[in-house]
Structure 1
Amino acid sequence: MGKDMRPFFVMPGSALKDLREELQLLNGADSAKTMERYGFRAGVGLVRTLGLECADIREAKAIIEQVWMETGLSRMSIEMINETEIVITFKESVEADNGDHCDFTKGYISGIISSLMRRRYDAYEVSCISDGAEKCVHVLTPSTTYQVERRDEVRKDEGGRRYLLEPGTSYLVESSGLDAAYQMYRDQVDDGCTGMVLAREYPEKVQRVFGINQGAILWLSYERGKRYAREPTDIPMIYSEIKNFFEANSRAVVLLSGLEYLISQNNFLKVLKLLQLLNDNVSMTSAMLIIPVVPEALNPQDVKMLERELKVLEVD
């Protein structure tokens, strides 16, 4: 371990195996994705906890190699690295030795690289020891879902901005329509924030109707054939998606549209818990969360509970 690097904890291989088995009982086929998401959050958290930074891809390579030596997950070799593609091989993988694919490893290395480069990288395992390969090979490429974090300075001139939002705050936008919420979102993105939208509306409609041309757009839908679709009943997935986005971007804004739809597909208390957890994440960062709602579409008691948790903006 380098002299400037503090000790850190990585889950032992036996604990990873136990976690996977428990997730398989709870989530079935989705357990691999859950392991990957957990790994991603752990990788991002590691970089932030150790205060690691890099100026370019070469410096990132040196940091990754030094950090990975201490993880005990596997022996790593970076075969190729540039800003558009990274190829990494792993031997003696604790996950593969258990007969599993390297899902936690895939998320972990993706989280480390994404946090160092301030740009989301997706990881793909193209071969694995558990399938009989000589070594595990992972390829990482810039995400097509998440954009590069923008580093523009905050504009001093207000220009056409209509809404000034406070970092570290979650907003409940009470309105009969969505125009105001999307205007708030556009204002923050124009001001240098990295944005993501989760909406009930199809992404192309969001772009066309609300003028959203920057940031990721995810679709709350059961359409499994679309990579950008997220099942509205998979609350843990939605939570992880937004939490990971907050962690990967120092100035993030998320617009969660379709609250009424989420409640109809789950139940109010489950969605309320989701918002409480997200609000906790927002409060600890400089992120912003925008949640439009039509109060008349919900039970008055439910609206009051939402208003107690979030900062209310009435725009009509």
Structure 2
Amino acid sequence: MNEDDHRKAFLRGYEEGLKAAWREVASLTTRGYSSTELGVMARSKMAVIYREVEALAARLAEGEGETGETGVGHGVVRGRGAYLVREPKAERIFQIFQTLARAGARGLSITRMHPDDVRDRCDIEPAGFVWLSKSVGKKVKGIAVVEPTALVDIASAIAEFAADGGNAVVLLEGLEYLIAQNGFSSILRFLQKVNEKIVLNDSYLLLSANPAAMKEQEYRLLAREMVGEI
């Protein structure tokens, strides 16, 4: 690579960095943060930006492309963490789940819909299934049946799966059902706890959410806990 190529590559990287920074700012300003909160988050981000650089360098070394982004249809997963998948009904979340699974992530499906219906939607068989149902006495081979109110058990299942080697992708469908069964405050605390385990174990959490089916303030509170919305 000659000097001109180096200069062009540097400018492309600089441009992408600016775009990413302003996308992040635009995303945060739509979530109701105050200027003080934005300042604190910006300083926190800058303090750990070296981690993202190191992660990108590792992905480049593994041949994952220049941006390190995983294409997922209408959105992009930009790194490990929790994401809200905005959709009227759970559809696109399965495409994103499959994309990450094909890239090597271990998949755990936690759904209100029956796991057989999940299998119909996914070409890749998840490593584990958790069915959110009140039919806990019913034995289903290869499927864990959990009460929707058993948030501690659900959180433990996610934490254990993510901790078992990291690089996990957890699909969570049935948010409105969980809120109806537990109340929003309980679900928010549940997701805060789960998100910590996901980040600590270098994994992904995908959460299908329909903003139209939720109170605006509640959706914004959920969005604050996420890496992004896709």
Q: TM-score range by the shorter chain?
A: 0.5 to 0.7
Structure with greater contact order relative to length (CA < 8 Å, sep ≥ 6): 2
Distance 2:226 2:64 in 1: 28
2:134 equivalent to 1:222 = yes
Counterpart CA distance in 2 for 1:251 and 1:222 is 30
The structure with the larger Rg is 1
Partner of 1:265: 181
Q: Distance in 1 between matches of 2:171 and 2:64?
A: 24
The 5-angstrom pairing of residues 231-250 of structure 1 reads 231-250=147-166
Q: Which residue of 2 aligns with 1:171?
A: 83
Residues 107-132 of structure 1: CA distance to partner in whole angstroms, max 9, x if unpaired?
Answer: xxxxxxxxxxxxxxxxxxxxxxxxxx
| Residues 155 and 237 (structure 1), Cα distance of their counterparts in 2 relative to 1, 3 Å cut | farther
Following TM superposition, by how much is the alpha carbon of 1:299 offset from its aligned partner in structure 2, in angstroms? 1.1
Structure 1 stretch displaced more, 216-225 or 164-173: 164-173
Alpha-carbon distance, 1:313 to partner:
2.1
Question: Does the 8 A contact of 1:222 with 1:232 survive in 2?
Answer: yes
CA shift digits 1:77-107 (9 cap, x unpaired): xxxxxxxxxxxxxxxxxxxxxxxxxxxxxxx
Amino acid at match of 1:199: T
CA contact (8 A) 2:223 2:229 kept: no
Aligned residue-pair number: 160
CA contact (8 A) 2:98 2:122 kept: no
Query: Are the structure 2 counterparts of residues 157 and 190 from structure 1 closer, same or farther at C-alpha, using a change threshold of 3 Å?
Result: farther
The residue matched to 1:201 in structure 2 has which SS?
A: coil
- Which residue, out of 199, 210, 214, partners 1:298? 214
Q: Do the aligned residues in 2 keep the contact of 1:166 with 1:288 (CA within 8 Å)?
A: no
Native 8 Å contact 1:282 1:288 kept in 2: yes
- Are 1:192 and 2:104 an aligned pair? yes
Deviations, residues 167-211 of structure 1 (Å, cap 9, x unaligned): 431001111232211111100110011110100000101111344
Deviation (angstroms), 1:157: 7.7
Corresponding residue of 2:229: 313
CA distance in 2, matches of 1:196, 1:229: 13
1:254 to 164, 170, 187: 170
| 2:196 is equivalent to residue 287 of structure 1 | no
- TM superposition score normalised by structure 2: 0.64
How far apart, CA to CA, are the structure 2 residues paired with 1:280 and 1:271? 14
Give me the whole-angstrom Cα distance separating, in 2, the residues matched to 1:252 and 1:192. 9
Question: Does the CA contact (< 8 Å) of 1:194 and 1:249 recur in 2?
Answer: no
SS of 1:275's equivalent? helix
Identity between Structure 1 and Structure 2 (%)? 30
Shift of 1:283: 2.1
Task: Say which of 64, 71, 83 aligns to 1:162.
Answer: 71
Classify the secondary structure of the residue corresponding to 2:158. Answer: helix
Question: In the alignment, is residue 180 of structure 1 matched against residue 68 of structure 2?
Answer: no
Distance 1:301 1:238, change over 3 A: same
> How far, CA to CA, are the matches of 2:179 and 2:193 in structure 1?
16
What is the identity, as a one-letter code, of the residue corresponding to 2:71?
R
Counterpart residue number, 1:277: 193
**AA of the residue aligned to 1:205:** D
Gaps of 5+ in 2: 1-61
The answer to whether 1:208 aligns with 2:120 is yes
The residue correspondences of 1:66-77 to structure 2 (distance < 5 A) are none
Deviation at 1:212, TM superposition (A): 4.3
* Structure number having the greater helix percentage: 2
